[in-house]
Structure 1
């Protein structure tokens, strides 16, 4: 019972269905009982009228009840419709029982009118009447058969309730479910939205009772959108404002490097220039992240993955050569994806840059692309330390860096990759490139492919 109460309190649809069904059942029981009793009493009244009509016929026709004899044979007589007519107080001179057509042992003290008597273990309905000739007659009928006939007639009256009530309960349950379907559709539509899909909910098809909730949700979405837009604008504006002074610092450091100074001063100048460069790199990453978070989706022409790989390698090859890293593209298969070229460059460049930074000197970074079940699988593998499974979800958070990392970076590369991947509908997966030794990192990006192109 407690479980049912809890479920009713949690579900308006279930509570409404249960309440309506209970009301229908109670109303049907009350109405059915009233109809049954009314029909039952009316059937008895009709049966009493039959007794009165028989007695009136005997009086008008001046008929006298015949005395049964021993030779009387009652054959093919329907006991349910049998009516006994006899003189009141007449002795049963035969040995016939009542069921065989004999007389009822009725007392002569009965008054005129209807009586219910128990005779020989059976109940009879008896009408006593004094005829115009002064003779008292009794017209009787067995009550058991009367009750059975009345009950059958009453049940036929109630039968529509027994058939229609279950059907009505099913109709009510279906109607309630259909009435709540717009709410379920609204909930499903909002639940399936991405975190940046903040456009208003269409409330035109919603019932008037639910529309205020949809309006409130739209206002909340608008406020959230304004808050996110303000946050993105602040990051972008701050990065733009900081870029100018950092550029000035970088120029001043370069000019200062041309002047004569001691070895100690030159060492400190080198550290200063490295710090300025890290700051400029962080600002560039912040601008890229802000752009990825606020960029609107628009139709893009197909982009070649191999072409993206070549452009990224041209930019990052010097960084790989400094660490003597063997970097290149495996295989000649190509694929085209309908994604913005700038987004694709940002994704691949951040992944490759991350692989080069964490791969030790003399290591290897491989890029490849395959088409699997209509999706382009971009894969970047390195021979670095890899990422532990427990940290693979955290590394996509902004500014998060794995413990023990000695590499210089902003901690925004993988966050930018995840942001762009969520916006373009791509899937990301991380695993060890060497599963036996559990070292190295292999990043796979699955993007819906337009075509697959094989190289020569």
Structure 2
């Protein structure tokens, strides 16, 4: 019982359905009992009228009850429709029972009117009447048959309740479920939204009672959007403002490198220039992350994956050559995806840059593209150490870097890739390129190639 009460308190839909069903059942039971009793009494009244009509007919036609016949065929007469008419106080000379067609042993002292008497272990309804000729007659009918007929008639009256109440309960349950369907649809729509989808929910199809809740959600989404936009603007502005000082420091370091200095000073200058370069790279990544997290218009034309690969390789080929890494595109197959060219370049560039940085000297980085199940499949495979299974979820967090990594980086590359993938509807998968040795990284990006979004 406590579980039912808890479920009723937790669910408005269940509480409403239970309350309406209980009310319908109570009303149906009360109405059914009242209808049954009314029909039962009315049937008895009609049966009493039959006795009165028979007595009136005997009086008007000046008929006198005949002595009971002794023919055995009377036993085959329908007892339910049999009406006994006799003179009051008449004795059956054959001593035949009532069921055999005999008369009832009624006392002569009965007053005129209707009586319910028990005769010979059976109950009879008896009407006593004095005719115009001064003769007293009795018209009787067995009460058991009368009650059975009245009960059958009353049950037929109540039968519609027994059929319609379950149907009404099902209709009420279905109506309540349909009434709450817009709320469930709104819940699913909000739950399926991506992190950046903060546009207002549609509230025109919602009930008036729920519409204020949707309006409050829209106001909250607006405030969250403003807060996120303010945060992105701050990051972009801060990164932009820091670029000028870092550029100036980089120029000063280059000029300082041309001056004569000791070996120790030159080593320290090299470390300083590496730190400045790392800071500039971090600012560029912050600006890119702030840009990709902002809402963007849908592209108007498809982008060739092979052309994106070529542009990325042109930019990163010097980095690969410096580490003697064999890098290139496998195959000539191409795929067209609906996405911004800058977004696709950012995705591929960050994945290839990570592959080059984490692949040891003399390693290999391969780029390929294919199609599977209506999606374009972009693969960047390297022979580096790979990413352990325990860290594959964390590597998409901003500023997170794999434990034990000695490579210089900002920890924002995969965060940028994930942010772009979420916004354009792509999926990023990470796996070992060599599953037996559990080394290397196989980064796969799947984009729907046939839709107007990647």
TM-score of Structure 1 vs Structure 2, range by shorter chain: over 0.9
Give how far 1:400 is off.
0.5
Match of 2:309 in 1: 309
Alpha-carbon contact 2:432-2:438 (below 8 Å) kept:
yes
The equivalent residue for 2:248 is: 248
Which residue is 2:437 aligned to? Answer: 437
**Counterpart for residue 198 of structure 2:** 198
Write out aligned runs for 1:218-237 (5 A). 218-237=218-237
Further displaced range: 109-118 or 219-228: 109-118
What is the alpha-carbon distance in structure 1 between the residues aligned to residue 398 and residue 262 of structure 2? 40
Task: Give 1:138-153 correspondences, 5 Å limit.
Answer: 138-153=138-153
Residue 188 of structure 2 is matched in structure 1 by: 188
The answer (yes or no) to whether the contact 1:396–1:418 under 8 Å persists in 2 is yes
Q: Which runs of 5+ in 1 are unaligned?
A: 452-456
Tell me which moved more, 92-101 or 207-216. 92-101
Does residue 283 in structure 1 map to residue 309 in structure 2?
Answer: no
Deviation string 1:72-112 (CA, Å, 9 cap, x unpaired) is 64265321121111122222211321011101122233232
Matches within 5 A, 1:15-34: 15-34=15-34
Partner of 2:81 in structure 1? 81
Larger deviation, residues 145-154 vs 260-269: 260-269
**Secondary structure of 1:247's match?**
helix
Q: What is the correspondence of 1:31-430 to structure 2 with a 5 Å cutoff?
A: 31-71=31-71, 73-74=73-74, 77-430=77-430
Q: Structure 2 CA distance, aligned partners of 1:369 and 1:60?
A: 110
Q: Is the 8 A contact 2:36 2:158 kept in 1?
A: yes
3-state SS of paired residue (1:117) = strand
Q: Determine helix, strand or coil for the equivalent of 1:51.
A: helix
- For residue 368 of structure 1, give the secondary structure of its aligned residue in structure 2: strand
Q: Aligned partners of 1:319 and 1:349: how far apart in 2?
A: 12
Contact conserved, 1:70 with 1:95, CA < 8 A, in 2?
no
Q: Select between 38-47 and 103-112 the one with higher mean Cα deviation.
A: 103-112
Tell me, yes or no, if the aligned pair for 1:379 and 1:442 is still in contact at 8 Å.
yes
1:184 CA drift (Å): 1.9
8 Å CA contact retained: 1:335, 1:450 = no
TM-score when normalising by structure 1: 0.95
Within 1, Cα distance between the matches of 2:252 and 2:73?
A: 139
Conserved in 1, the CA contact under 8 Å of 2:431 and 2:442? Answer: yes
Structure 2: distance between partners of 1:46 and 1:309: 98
Q: Does the 8 Å contact 2:75/2:99 carry over to 1? A: no
3-state secondary structure, aligned to 2:204:
coil
Q: 1:70 to 1:332 in 2, by over 3 A?
A: closer
Gap change, CA 1:295 and 1:181, over 3 Å in 2? closer
1:69 positional shift: 4.3
Q: Secondary structure at the match of 2:193?
A: coil
Deviation, 1:32, is 1.3
| Deviation (angstroms), 1:295 | 3.8
1:274 positional shift: 1.0
Preserved contact between residue 430 and residue 442 of structure 1 (Cα < 8 Å): yes
TM norm structure 2: 0.95
Alignment: residue pair count: 451
CA separation in 2, counterparts of 1:204 and 1:236? 37
Q: Residues 77 and 36 from structure 1, CA distance in 2 versus in 1: closer, same or farther, beyond 3 angstroms?
A: same
**Which shows bigger deviation, 402-411 or 122-131?**
122-131
Query: 2: CA distance between counterparts of 1:72 and 1:329?
Result: 113
Deviation digits for residues 315-338 of structure 1, max 9, x if unmatched?
A: 111111111111111111111212
Distance change (3 Å), C-alpha of 1:71 and 1:423: closer
- Select between 108-117 and 331-340 the one with higher mean Cα deviation: 108-117
1:392-430: CA deviation from partner (whole Å, max 9, x where unpaired): 011000000111111110000000000001111111111
1:262 and 1:65 map into 2 onto residues whose CA distance is: 151
Q: Is the 8 A contact 2:428 2:446 kept in 1?
A: yes
The answer to whether the 8 Å contact 1:395/1:401 transfers is yes
Given that residues 105 and 119 in structure 1 are in contact (C-alpha distance below 8 angstroms), is that contact kept between their aligned partners in structure 2? yes
Offset, 1:4: 3.0
SS of residue paired to 2:64: coil
CA contact (8 A) 1:69 1:93 kept: no
Q: Which residue of 2 aligns with 1:454?
A: none
